[in-house]
Amino acid sequence: MKGFEHLQEELNQMKDEGTFRELIPLESAQGSRVTIKGKDVIQLSSNNYLGLTNHPRMKEAAEKAIEEYGVGTGSVRTIAGTLSMHEEYERKLAKFKHTEAALVFQSGFTTNQGVLSSMLNDQDVVISDELNHASIIDGIRLTKAARKIYKHVDMESLEEALKASSEYRTRLVVTDGVFSMDGNIAPLPEIVELAEKYDALIMVDDAHASGVLGENGRGTVNHFGLDGRVHIQVGTLSKAIGVLGGYVATSQTLKEYLIHKGRPFLFSTSHPPAVTAACDAAVDVLLEEPELIQKLWDNTKFFKDGLTKLGFDTGISKTPITPVMIGDDALTHKFSDELFKEGVFAQGIVFPTVPKGKARIRTIVTAEHSKEELQEALDAFERAGKTLGIL
């Protein structure tokens, strides 16, 4: 079909540069082992931290919701698409997060976009960590607010930005709780101190901390004992929670404001009953099965220690996101391919997602992996590392 020639040219260029990637379909359910291209492999690239994508209690809740309420809602939340279960779930989530209120969006991405684009205008400034997630960057692009970017987790750089922001009505500091490519945790206690000193609001994106950090997986704010001192907590229901969606846990005022002004909330259909029911059951799982989080952290320690003992560089990670630093883009892809031959699915992350020279294999172990599987994966890393001269 004509009209797409310039797009095809760009794609061809990506192919020449080696940055074009095919999608890799799973031929089985998500889990610690998956089937890809007919081969049974250990999955180390999902965000299914607690293995909840297949939790029996959540599947049962979803099936029951389909039977009772059908498969869709037929409307956006603000017209005819709010089910009582949506509101019950939001109350439950707020209680879990120790906040006044919570509001669910269609995804973590649209939560960041919706919150940032609606609550700020040209009287305000947003001060953002340079390595924040794309959805924060896009949310910022959609505001008329002034923007300042501080150096990654650099508190001097943040303080400079805060000092230079006194003329604005709202100063909003925004950071990922856990950074998705390196697995390091934002220095939230220092950020809170600075924000309080300069009378700024704080927004934390806990996509990789919900279900992972804090008591029963309440997130970064709870992990640092900062409940009540962070104004906006965004999280995703698509990673550790195992389903789909995003939420903001915050004040009743911001919730009501977002219901009226948050564009993705206003203009996109609400979650199907099965999604909400499964997310609701996930909160019960977090509260009643804390051993899953314990297992996630035990597995994380086992795998990280194993990689380090083998001689791999795992960067600055403090969480289950463990990068194996390789450096060169092409070598990283080769390593990923070699791992696949050895029975492990672990995707390479290269430029432009990470800076040139910082290409890596990004691994995430889950609570579902057995020690035997993790040892099998470590053995595969060793063999592949030796084959390619990385070790």
223 catalytic, yes or no?
Answer: no
251 belongs to the catalytic site:
no
Could you give the CA distance from residue 62 to residue 280 in angstroms, rounded to a whole number? 10
State the number of binding residues for ligand PLP (CB under 6 A). Answer: 14
CA distance linking residue 363 with residue 307, whole number of Å:
11
The pair of structure tokens assigned to 133 is: 């997630």
Which is the catalytic residue, given 117, 180, 238, 317? Answer: 180
> Binding pattern to ligand PLP, positions 118-157, x when CB under 6 A?
---------------x-x----------------------
Smallest gap from Cβ 152 to ligand PLP, in A, equals 14
Question: What is the spatial distance between Cα 381 and Cα 306, in angstroms, rounded to a whole number?
Answer: 10
Question: C-beta of 235: minimal distance to ligand PLP in Å?
Answer: 9
- From residue 156, how far is each of 60, 75, 159, 178 by CA, in Å? 50, 47, 5, 20
Integer Cα distance of 243 and 256 in angstroms: 25
- Residue whose beta carbon is closest to ligand PLP: 108
SS3 at position 269: strand
Task: Extract the tokens encoding 59.
Answer: 């599947």
Query: Smallest distance from the beta carbon of 107 to ligand PLP, in angstroms?
Result: 3
The stretch near ligand PLP (CB under 6 A) out of 7-15, 161-169, 189-197, 204-212 is 204-212
128 is catalytic: no
Judged by CB under 6 A, the chain residues 261 through 280 that form the site for ligand PLP are none
Alpha-carbon gap, residue 64 to 43, rounded angstroms: 29
Q: What helix, strand, coil percent values describe the chain, rounded to 5?
A: 45, 15, 40
Which CB atom, from 136 or from 162, has the smaller least distance to ligand PLP?
136
User: Considering 55, 86, 133, 208, which one is annotated as catalytic?
Assistant: 208
d(CA 237, CA 107): 7
For residue 233, state whether it binds ligand PLP (rule: CB under 6 A): no
Of the residues 55, 239, 295, 369, only one is catalytic, namely: 239
Give me the residues that bind ligand PLP (CB under 6 A), please: 107-109, 112, 133, 135, 176, 180, 205, 207-208, 236, 238, 246
Just list the catalytic residues: 180, 208, 239
